[in-house]
Amino acid sequence: MNFYFKPSIAIAMLGLYLTSCNEGTFKSKEIVVNPDTELPQGFWDDIISDDIEYFTLSGPKSNKLSTITYILRVGDYIVSTHPNTSTIYFHDLNGSFQHHLRSSGKGPLEFSEVMTIARFDDHHILINDPSKNSILKYNISNQKITEEFKTNLYIYNMYYDEISTRLIFTTNDFDSGFIKYVDNMDFKNIYPLIHATAPQI
């Protein structure tokens, strides 16, 4: 069954769907942004599971960290994307630099640019390369790209559900569903999840 909503409502629903995938949330007594500023309790107190803490991500000696657009915890790693340099950085949970993955080209099992990333499991991430219309599977421990999935779509954001093996993603295809999904990374069978409708003029 297809659902029809305005884009803003659909995006909000996707956000609620993704946050509802957590097994449970626990309320904090206070949310500390920094030692001098506190947020009043309210809506966010029901969503954030623990007090906010800050730590520094160290960069390699040869490169400084650039603007971070995505950051994930994947197993024992913190993974972040830096599109200005087409680089993905890997830190341990204390923020110490471990290794990085740089753009290597547009050949098989190579990536040219990074749009977004998603956690596949505790040992792998998915890399969305819009220049190739591909999603690449990267093994963090072995530091190798192991699989490539041709999407033939321009994908903006994505989320992988390890339990259902379903990839949910957003595209610029408003007619057949701008939020779609595939099962088992099978892009020969793409299904619409939410359609967007333009306001009538």
pLDDT 10s digits, 70-117:
899 999 999 999 888 889 999 999 889 999 998 888 889 988 899 899
* 38-74 b/e (C-beta count within 10 Å ≥ 16 → b): eeeeeeeeeeeeeeeeeeeeeeeeeeebbeeebeeeb
CA distance 149 to 130: 12
Per-residue confidence band for 174, with pLDDT thresholds at 50, 70 and 90: confident
Position 168 scores a pLDDT of 95
Q: What is the pLDDT of residues 110-143, one digit of tens each?
A: 888 998 999 999 999 999 999 999 999 999 999 9
Per-residue confidence band for 5, with pLDDT thresholds at 50, 70 and 90: very low
pTM as predicted = 0.71
Query: Looking at domain 4-15+68-196, does it have CATH number 2.130.10.10?
Result: yes
